[in-house]
Chain A
């Protein structure tokens, strides 16, 4: 993995210009900043309705210093398929130019990915469209004012789940992996260098790549802006958010999550949940249930990994 020292040397260019309208401490901005550092200027970004197409700024000014396309809510993956096809047409017609080096990137929120955008995304995945689809997951419709999405975790308070969400978070990375994609990865904004590495790898792979980033949202999660890195880090430390890659069907835990296969290395889930106002209505009983669920998920993961090892 790239070190900060190396990153300081190679990653000085900023593509999403400062002075934009992201909230102070926005997790999305950390995710995009590091994704773009990895992908570089020859990237065309498509974003559906989301915080991102608002924070870019108002006409006639904008923050992204690279080709950027706004898209309707359900349509980002499909539009990206078209963009990528056009780049292929242009690469064929104008060989030796920038067109053969273009990366088509989708940056979409969890609503635009796990809810309204899932059909288009699933279509792009099945076609293996040559795109990188990234979901920055702040676990609710933050742009419209914090409404629940299918990616909102159990118990979280939103403006449409005022008593805490009853259902559980949709596991989209695993749904995407079920499409037999060449590359699926999860990231957290607490690990920018891991984001950098995974986007570098995704860029080098032909076909449809899916990256799911846990991205903190201070107003939506009920945390202070300075906690925007610390809280998602706790999500990783407690094992609540698992960092992994699935490359051609092979699951590999990432550096920060791998040690957590040993349950004693996992911080208790309450360390993560109790720090956020959105979980303030969780009962003790629910907390215990959630910890049990999480432990079960990890033991299933351990089984899967050992089974995978056995078959290799």
Chain B
């Protein structure tokens, strides 16, 4: 970061707030017009804070809908967005599962809805702690999915999301996910940007006509969603959603650059963020809060003389295939660490399976080590992550895989009681 940018940042007001509160501030900064919510742990304080803003009159003209279920939350958001307003909601785990039908609907209607997910482990058994299986289960819905690895990034990524989603070439909904409790309920300094700066950065709120492709306007009656025959371009409309994801990669990079120019904070190229990868021989890829902590592990091991680096995966959808290929080419061994499950998939971890698919045909001889860890909020400490790097280093030096491999995947940190 250049000094001038640091200077700008130092002048700004910072608040020591929880991740959920940062999300609420972002929604307020984005001047969302319709908020719809239903309580679920660990998301609840997002909507509580927004409720407080609304009740204090700090969000004039905003409608706040208190719904009776998550299914209804997403349905109401779809209704409000279809009628041409900027919308926001937040949920977690079971709540996301319950709204799943409407999640597909939102993407099918190409509505630029932004939703934050304080991720938690799926039940049963009940679990409320960090685990990204919830948001990753929306892999094939057509939503964009990003991970925030820190408190400031939650705020920043929500702002960037509106700019990406509302672009007329994109028009897709997006999830911004971060770990339940690990980020949602811990406090860190977060810069809340001046309203006028945010207004300058974001596209203007939709005008009277609403979105360009869908609206509820008596002057221009139209219908979306009625039956389409197998011969009637259904196939092609689905292709358009996929193709738009490929277009969105460039948009994400552009918005990330614009964001850095405007606010002085950068997140790699938008899709991935590399750390000390220039001369790294081994690296590990993470997402969410553990990607942030991995940077400390890399620093420590660098001090011990290891040539290690790490990669923060910011986007799961669209998947940064090209970036992953380039990263794989740089190193000899790449660990891919999932705090989520993809049962029955090639590796058991969703991102490691994707990485393997992305590398197919790229000619790389890089060894990939799939890692699954930290499910349901199981603590993954700095020492454990340092050890993961050492395991990768050992693999690089000797070709030996760790002893705890299960069907090709390193399930790190499994409990064993004597």
Q: A and B touching (C-beta < 8 Å)? A: yes
Binding site for B on A (CB under 8 A): 41-44, 46, 53-54, 56-60, 62, 64-72, 74-90, 92-94, 97-99, 102, 119-120, 122-123, 126-127
Which one, B5-13, B77-85, B193-201, B333-341, is touching chain A?
A: B77-85
Q: Which residue of B lies closest to A42 (CB)?
A: B218
8 Å CB contacts to A: which residues of B179-210?
205, 208
Given A57-B226, A75-B102, do A65 and B221 touch, yes or no (CB 8 Å)? yes
- Contact call B223/A56, Cβ cutoff below 8 A: yes
- Contact call B71/A89, Cβ cutoff below 8 A: no
Q: Report the minimal beta-carbon distance from B15 to chain A, rounded to whole angstroms.
A: 28
Q: Which residue of B lies closest to A79 (CB)?
A: B79
Q: Bound complex: CA of A94 vs CA of B319, how far in Å?
A: 40
User: Is B68 positioned at the interface, with any CB of A under 8 Å from its CB?
Assistant: yes
A66 is contacted by which of B68, B80, B218 (Cβ under 8 Å)?
Answer: B218
Which residues of B have CB within 8 Å of A70?
223-226
Given A75-B72, A81-B67, A90-B84, do A97 and B208 touch, yes or no (CB 8 Å)? yes
User: Is B105 positioned at the interface, with any CB of A under 8 Å from its CB?
Assistant: yes
B75 is contacted by which of A42, A68, A97, A120 (Cβ under 8 Å)?
Answer: A120
- Contact call B75/A82, Cβ cutoff below 8 A: yes
- Contact call B223/A68, Cβ cutoff below 8 A: yes
Q: Considering residues B76, B80, B101, B217, which has the most beta carbons from chain A within 10 angstroms of its beta carbon?
A: B76
Please count how many residues in chain B sit with their CB below 8 Å of the partner chain's CB atoms.
Answer: 47
Q: Bound complex: CA of A97 vs CA of B221, how far in Å?
A: 17
- Contact call B66/A86, Cβ cutoff below 8 A: no
A79 is contacted by which of B34, B78, B84 (Cβ under 8 Å)?
Answer: B78
User: Is B222 positioned at the interface, with any CB of A under 8 Å from its CB?
Assistant: yes
Q: Bound complex: CA of A43 vs CA of B222, how far in Å?
A: 12
Which one, B227-235, B270-278, B350-358, B398-406, is touching chain A?
A: B227-235
User: Is B69 positioned at the interface, with any CB of A under 8 Å from its CB?
Assistant: yes
B72 is contacted by which of A58, A84, A85, A120 (Cβ under 8 Å)?
Answer: A120
Q: Bound complex: CA of A81 vs CA of B205, how far in Å?
A: 21
- Contact call B76/A79, Cβ cutoff below 8 A: yes
- Contact call A67/B218, Cβ cutoff below 8 A: yes
Which residues of B have CB within 8 Å of A72?
75, 101-102, 105
Q: Bound complex: CA of A75 vs CA of B74, how far in Å?
A: 9
Q: Bound complex: CA of A76 vs CA of B78, how far in Å?
A: 11
Contacts A75-B71, A79-B78, A120-B69 given; 7 further ones with Cβ under 8 A?
A46-B79, A58-B228, A68-B222, A78-B76, A82-B36, A86-B79, A87-B83
Q: Bound complex: CA of A42 vs CA of B218, how far in Å?
A: 6
Which residues of B have CB within 8 Å of A97?
208
User: Is B216 positioned at the interface, with any CB of A under 8 Å from its CB?
Assistant: yes
Q: Bound complex: CA of A65 vs CA of B73, how far in Å?
A: 28
Per-residue contact bits, chain B 93-114, to A (CB 8 Å; 1 contact, 0 not)? 0000000011001000000000
- Contact call B208/A123, Cβ cutoff below 8 A: no
B78 is contacted by which of A43, A82, A92, A122 (Cβ under 8 Å)?
Answer: A82
- Contact call A88/B63, Cβ cutoff below 8 A: yes
Q: Report the minimal beta-carbon distance from B180 to chain A, rounded to whole angstroms.
A: 25
Q: Report the minimal beta-carbon distance from B242 to chain A, rounded to whole angstroms.
A: 20
- Contact call A94/B208, Cβ cutoff below 8 A: yes
3 smallest beta-carbon distances between A and B, as pairs: A82-B79, A123-B68, A82-B76
Q: Bound complex: CA of A8 vs CA of B38, how far in Å?
A: 47
Q: Bound complex: CA of A93 vs CA of B205, how far in Å?
A: 11
